[in-house]
Amino acid sequence: MKILIVGGGMGGTILANNLARRLASELRSGKARITLLSASERHMYQPGLLYLAVGRMTPDELYRDQASLLEHDIEFHVDPVEEFRLDNNEVRTKSGKVHGYDILAIATGSRPAPEEIPGLAENAEQFYTEESAIKMFRRLQAFQGGRIVIAMGVPHKCPMAPLEIIFMLHDYFKDRGMLDKVKLHYTYPIGRVHTLENVAKWAAPEMDRLGITYETLFNLKEVDGAKKVVRSEEGGETPYDLLITIPAHRGMEVIEKNGLGQRGWIPTHRHKLTMEGRNNVYVLGDTTNLPISKAGSTAHFEAETLGENIAAIVKLGAPVRDYDGKVFCFIEAGKDRATYASFDYQNPPQPKAPTRAVHWFKVAYNKLYWASARGLL
Amino acid sequence: MARRTVDARGSFCPGPLMELIAAMKMVAVGDELEVLSTDKGSASEIPEWLRKARHEHLGTEEKDGVWHVLVRKAR
Ligand SMILES: Cc1cc2nc3c(=O)[nH]c(=O)nc-3n(C[C@H](O)[C@H](O)[C@H](O)COP(=O)(O)OP(=O)(O)OC[C@H]3O[C@@H](n4cnc5c(N)ncnc54)[C@H](O)[C@@H]3O)c2cc1C
């Protein structure tokens, strides 16, 4: 049985390791084979970008060699897929190699698409890539005062990031003794400050207390760099001195080009995690079209479900369980307090007020991530 | 004109309205979207956004605990 995993980020790495452990004897006897194809020889801890943008982590802390995270029975190549030939059960890579499979899992992630909003890429700072987060940090360090606006599009990965960045910016300027010179203004796409109602209920008064202003029902439409204003789809307009953005995301171009899903989102069965219309193609992580958070924890729980199911297909001939929609997210509420939200398709989240204890747990997780990617946690 | 379904049942985060806003980017002006939601807040939240964003609300119906909100992309 040839298992091919495309994408060596959070979802692909956990799935590959999980399967390698479950199928150790099958891999040894040659009854099963696991191949992982990725686009980079390094693995990035993406949540670290948030800390990088405010100078609380450095770039080297974000990376590990991808090969060092993998069980040694996994065949790993840095050779991105360019063509998915699903009718022939094979893919073609950039180097021209063709890999056949019995089971395919796609976990190619998602990317911000600032180019879709006129004026955005040229006029706003971002922190969803290493390069942009460093640029944003330098810009913050040089900032002498004025109005900072946060504006975003949907969907974007990590739905907690908008709140996290605004509270972190508050603490960043507080530490620099500049709060009297800086005005923070937060905008959000729907009618409250966060999509989770309970989170919005503590975050709005918290913003009031800290002097952060906000405006809801604000979806990025365009940025006028000459006038220094940002406009929304809903007809709003707000001035800025420094604009920080989380642009709407798309899946990877290779997904769109191969016609696997519009805007790179692959239609996925919410419980089986199969690609709609294909029973030997699985999808996990950001690139699914499921109505749940595009987050590392989502990719993690999906990978665990798929690890169990694909191993069962090899051993028993059929999958053994459904994915229940589970997601768990930490929410940093500044530099020293945090809370979390845990939910699935059936059970809504009940987040509590932020505490220091949860913040330290998140700080610990920033290190534990590597054990989690190895499939040890 | 095409009609497509946004299946946001069981969605808490990002939630049905966010799913609709994202789906609007994938359809043409004049197309209809039917949002399925198990969250009754959607029944008021979605029309509120539609008014502000100047899209059409064609109707809302509840069937067995699922709200069906029908909308048309107007611009
Ligand atoms: C600033 C920031 C903060 C975040 N904070 C959190 C947080 O606190 N908690 C949380 O749970 N999540 C957080 N996330 C989100 C989380 O990082 C992602 O949701 C998660 O990494 C998604 O996993 P994935 O496997 O789908 O994709 P990724 O981890 O992005 O991996 C995609 C992989 O696919 C590879 N690839 C791309 N194209 C190809 C190709 N053509 N062929 C082969 N391989 C390819 C890439 O090289 C990469 O290895 C955050 C993200 C950001 C940017």
Q: State pLDDT tens for residues A127-176.
A: 999 999 999 999 999 999 999 999 999 999 999 999 999 999 999 999 99
B47–A contact, CB cutoff 8 A? no
**Nearest C-alpha neighbor of A74 from the set A115, A110, A105, A118:** A105
Tell which one of A4, A15, A17, A38 to mutate to probe ligand 1, the residue whose CB is within 8 A of the most ligand atoms.
A38
B50–A contact, CB cutoff 8 A? no
Local structure of A65: helix, strand or coil: strand
Q: Are residues A242 and A135 in the same domain?
A: yes
State the pLDDT confidence band at A322, using cuts at 50, 70 and 90: very high
Nearest CA in chain A to B10: A345
Is residue A339 included in any domain, yes or no? no
The residue out of A285, A306, A327 marking a domain boundary is A327
What does the pLDDT read at residue A226? 98
Q: How far is B12 from chain A (nearest CA, A)?
A: 6
Rounded percentage of chain A residues whose pLDDT exceeds 70: 100
B13-59 pLDDT, tens digit per residue, is 999 999 999 999 999 999 999 999 999 999 999 999 999 999 999 99
Contacts of A33 (CB under 8 A, 6+ apart): A1, A2, A3, A27, A75
Q: Are residues A268 and A222 in the same domain?
A: no
The span from the CA of A84 to the CA of B6, in Å, is: 26
Q: Are residues A189 and A136 in the same domain?
A: yes
State the pLDDT confidence band at A198, using cuts at 50, 70 and 90: confident
Is residue A337 included in any domain, yes or no? no
Q: In CATH, what number is assigned to the domain containing residue A119?
A: 3.50.50.60
Amino acid at A342: S
Query: For A48, left (φ over 0), alpha (ψ -120 to 50), or beta?
Result: alpha
**Nearest C-alpha neighbor of A247 from the set A366, A132, A340, A108:** A132
CA distances from A147 to A183, A207, A236, A239, A259 (A): 5, 15, 17, 8, 42
| Ligand 1 centroid – CA A7 distance (Å) | 9
Number of domains forming the structure of chain A: 2
The span from the CA of A178 to the CA of A81, in Å, is: 48
What does the pLDDT read at residue A351? 87
CA angle at A96 for the pair A90 and A101, rounded to the nearest 5°? 20
The span from the CA of A80 to the CA of A266, in Å, is: 18
Q: Are residues A179 and A259 in the same domain?
A: no
The span from the CA of A182 to the CA of A282, in Å, is: 47
Q: What mean pLDDT is reported for chain A?
A: 97
Q: In CATH, what number is assigned to the domain containing residue B13?
A: 3.30.110.40
For residue A155, cis peptide bond before it (omega within 30 degrees of 0): yes
Arithmetic mean of pLDDT, A77-98: 98
State the pLDDT confidence band at A68, using cuts at 50, 70 and 90: very high
Q: Which residues pair with A242 in a beta bridge?
A: A148
A69-81 pLDDT, tens digit per residue, is 999 999 999 999 9
Long-range CB contacts (within 8 A, 24+) of A341-345: A341/A160, A341/A196, A341/A199, A341/B13, A343/B12, A343/B13, A344/B10, A345/A270, A345/A292, A345/B9, A345/B10
Q: Is the CB of A329 under 6 A from ligand 1?
A: yes
Local structure of A130: helix, strand or coil: helix
A218-249 pLDDT, tens digit per residue, is 999 999 999 999 999 999 999 999 999 999 99
Q: Are residues A14 and A31 in the same domain?
A: yes
Asked if residue A20 has pLDDT above 80, the reply is yes
Amino acid at A286: D
What does the pLDDT read at residue A352? 87
What does the pLDDT read at residue B55? 98
Entry pTM: 0.98
Structural domain harbouring B63: 3-72
Is residue A354 included in any domain, yes or no? no
Q: Are residues A160 and A257 in the same domain?
A: no
- Which pair of structure tokens corresponds to residue A133? 């987060």
What does the pLDDT read at residue A236? 96
The residue out of A197, A220, A248 marking a domain boundary is A248
Q: How far is B30 from chain A (nearest CA, A)?
A: 17
Q: Are residues A9 and A78 in the same domain?
A: yes
| Ligand 1 centroid – CA A295 distance (Å) | 8
**Which residue's entry shows tokens 């479900």?**
A305
Is residue A312 included in any domain, yes or no? yes
Alpha-helical runs (H) found in B1-75:
16-24, 42-53
CA angle at A116 for the pair A182 and B7, rounded to the nearest 5°? 100
Q: Is the CB of A136 under 6 A from ligand 1?
A: no
Structural domain harbouring A11: 2-109+252-327
Query: For A175, left (φ over 0), alpha (ψ -120 to 50), or beta?
Result: alpha
Pairing between β-strand A229-232 and β-strand A220-224 as defined by DSSP bridges: antiparallel
B68–A contact, CB cutoff 8 A? no
The residue out of A213, A248, A283 marking a domain boundary is A248
| Ligand 1 centroid – CA B14 distance (Å) | 17
Residue count (chain A): 377
Of A196, A217, A263, the CB nearest to B26: A263
Q: Do A189 and B18 touch (CB under 8 A)?
A: yes
The span from the CA of A244 to the CA of A317, in Å, is: 50
A324-341 pLDDT, tens digit per residue, is 999 999 998 888 999 999
Asked if residue A305 has pLDDT above 80, the reply is yes
Arithmetic mean of pLDDT, A45-56: 97
CA angle at A205 for the pair A296 and A241, rounded to the nearest 5°? 75
- Which pair of structure tokens corresponds to residue A189? 């796409």
Asked if residue A42 has pLDDT above 90, the reply is yes
What does the pLDDT read at residue B1? 75
Q: Are residues A54 and A156 in the same domain?
A: no
Q: Are residues A142 and A197 in the same domain?
A: yes
Number of domains forming the structure of chain B: 1
